[in-house]
Structure 1
Amino acid sequence: MTTSRLPAADPVALLTADPYAGYAALREAGPVHRVTGPDGLPVWLVTRYADVRRALADPRLALDKRHAAPGNYRGFSLPPALDANLLNMDPPDHTRIRRLVSQAFTPRRIAALRPAVERTAEELIDAIAPLGRAELISAYAAPLPITVICDLLGVPADHRHDFRAWTDTLVAPDPARPQDAKAAVGAMLGFFTELIARKRTEPGEDLLSALIAVRDDEGGEGGAGAQDRLGEDELTSLAFLILFAGYENTVHLIGNAVLALLTHPEQLAALRRDPALAAGAVEEFARYDGPAPLAIRRFATEDLTIGGVAVPAGETVLLALASANRDPQQFPEPDRLDLARPENQHLALGHGIHYCLGAPLARLETEVALTALLRRLPSLTLGQPTGELRHRPSLRARGLLELPVQWASTTTVEEGDGC
């Protein structure tokens, strides 16, 4: 067994300052490490691709917090109306809820969203193109997915700024201001409660209205049986999760991808020459610098062995997706960005029954975002040295706080595009 400790002075350094060098050292030292997290509680950190992939699909590693040993979990506390979501569930409840919502995220339905996503990307670029410079996270990478996911759910446009602020607060709460996170949770709960009540009386052609119909259907001819319905807390929690995860992961994926391109000019040139590479490039961006360094925490439901290391029942296991995606046993030259990388079976979006439900939408949004950006702003460059860029100080998210960029404004609008 290998015992490690996250740096006491800066507990998020492993995942922010230089995470991939840290993970490389851990992989070399051993497949599984006993790590003391920033909250002082011990966890088991799994670092190698083969072990992480197996563990992601292992039913003995549960998401339900009730499997945690007493005193072995200090996660952020959500009210029941937001906590009954897929990130805290195992079968059979997980199977039931995922089946109900997965119809909205099929490849065919997501493909039908492409025109709307493209239109949103173009409108956002229209707003910044004449300026010659922008902070790309706030001006583009963030508003694109929040607009798309709010349209999908049926969230009114005048509340989208609020959702961005609430989500940012929850992803990286300020330890000195714990009241901010509680206020954000309360505001989101209040908003969804009111929105659900409104859509019960005024349903629309959106996902939330469809979920409400599933929740309220009493069965009967053509209706869902009681076992196929959503509970009220499940309905609210599902809306919260779709919004939160659908926004947060995509904004970081887009931001990280743009940074990767601007710091790898040969790959940027290849994508400019052949925009058809974009779909495959998204997979490489997810592998190379994905938005979630760690999978959602899991709890061992029985004594088990991972990578030859014994993990007792009830203890917390963290699966290092970022480490697995740079494992040289799986990926040749893993630290090299290669947009044409073959057999790219990365784990950035998970594996097994908890594979990211919104993966098709995240892929579409990132592909559209990059394609439009490179076409409309062909001289795009970084606006400040890479050493001055700051990543979000969070153990659960890998994303930039800001991404200043610049371009020659006289070349940003294509002749004849009507803009």
Structure 2
Amino acid sequence: MSDVRRHQPVRWQRSIHSVHYNLPRQETVITKPLKMPSEQEIQAYDRQVAGHTATNGKKYLGLLQCNDGTILKPIIKESQRREMEFYERVSSATESDLVELSRLVPRYVGSRHYTYNGHQQQYIVLEDLTQKMLEPCIMDVKIGRRTWDPLATEEKIKNEQTKYALCKQEYAFCIPGFQVYRLATGQLHKYGKDYGKKLHGEMVRDALKKYLNVSEGVVCRALLLRILSSLWQIQKWARTQRAVKLYSTSLLLVYDAAKLRECCVKEKIIPQPKSSCQPPLRRRSSIHSTHSPAAGASFSGQLSHAGPVYKKVSPVPLAPLTPALLPFTPPTPINTPWNDVLEKLNHNHSFDHNYEDKLSKMKMNFRATLDQMSSDTPNPNPWGTVKIIDFAHAFFNEDDDATTDDNFSEGIDNFVKIFESFLRETSDQII
């Protein structure tokens, strides 16, 4: 008796559908799971809204994106090496001001050497705040009227004084660029430095409303509270801290337009989008009802060569209701002194429109939302936040008599005021 097993031909199973319609046999294609890359892969970061992106000689100036959820910022100048040292000190600091600052900046992973397009250089590795966002809306806001550090040359100072001059003089901040996904169309719109240099006066508020996806003059209150919760934390830190002086530092605002769209549809700020791929729901008809518009209730149970046989149904006359089946007659109401009180209560404070109850719910929701967003518990996938970035021109205060950073704090205060004015315009929204 041989131990070798004979290979029998594979028997192909055919579905009822293929047998019924006499369809030919088809070979089954067996899919294999995708093989995940074992090494880290990097590419140009296509979500960069400000800063340098081109290649200069043997150096790539733009941000890179790694497949492990981090952003790589190139170290080219000596000031950028100072930024790496800044992150290292803040991430390991024990001073209260720097510990608080570490919560307001992107998570620092370290520094590594990478080669991109044949250019090898060192990079600062930071977390990607937009990693899990489907439609990331990003804005870069440079804070302060003075954007040059104490080591700047005269030429550098003159150059910085001419950049975004009108906006910085009026608001103590400027907007180098932003990108936003429109809620109605899902299209991506980008606004670069050429657009930002023209902003001044009311145009600044209009630009912020564009970024916030304002629909017919209405701003989503939930989005404002989410951004303001981060801005208030930064503002509180900036007003009292004496550890650092920040020059040419920016705020990075990010939120997910896909999450905002869900929120706006829920609150009826924008209409429910119509899906062309989903057919309208219809009630299934029975087998015999599909052969007759009579809805099949008169099917006789017999079949002929022409199809099902329907019986004629004669109308059934309705008999008059007997006294026992008459509708229930409610008793005559009893007049009491409480009737007038109840009538006044219904007139002045309707049970269907209890405005005090709605106001109480608004306050509870407001506090709950703020507590959730301002808590120290880490949120693995926030759909809107603000972080401080760009520390190439940041300097630590080593003296005991160091003062607060009024240049940075003034820009933050003015920026927060605009968002708070937007929030007052949404006071009638229930979150």
Above 0.5 in TM-score?
no
What TM-score do you get using the length of structure 2 for normalisation?
A: 0.23
Could you say which structure has the higher helix fraction? 1
Larger RCO (alpha carbons 8 Å, 6+ apart): 1
More strand, by proportion: 2
Greater C-alpha radius of gyration: 2
